[in-house]
Amino acid sequence: MGTPDFAVPCLNALIGSGHDIAGVFTQPDKPKNRGRQLAAPPVKLRAQEAGLAVFQPESLKTPETQALLRALAPELIVVVAYGKILPQAVLDIPGRGCVNVHASLLPKYRGAGPIQWSILNGETETGITTMYMARGVDTGDMLLQVKTAIGPDETADELHDRLSVLGAQVLTETIYQLEEGKLIPVPQDGAQATYAPMLTKALCPVDFSKPAAAVHNQIRGLYAWPCAQAVFAGKRLKLCRSTLAKGTYREAPGTVVDVKHFTVVCGDQRAVSLLEVQPEGGRRMPGADFLHGRRAENGCRFGE
CB 254, CB 240: distance < 8 Å: no
Domains and CATH numbers, the chain: 5-192 (3.40.50.170), 201-293 (3.10.25.10)
- Among 226, 228, 237, 235, residue whose Cα is nearest residue 207: 228
pLDDT digits (tens, 9 = 90+) for 100-120: 999 999 999 999 999 999 999
Claim: this prediction has a pTM higher than 0.85: yes
Q: In this predicted model, what pLDDT tens digit does every residue of 26-55 receive, in sequence order?
A: 999 999 877 778 999 999 999 999 999 999
- How far apart are the C-alpha atoms of 99 and 10, rounded to whole Å? 12
133-154 per-position pLDDT tens digit: 998 889 999 999 999 999 999 9
CB atoms within 10 A of CB 223: 23
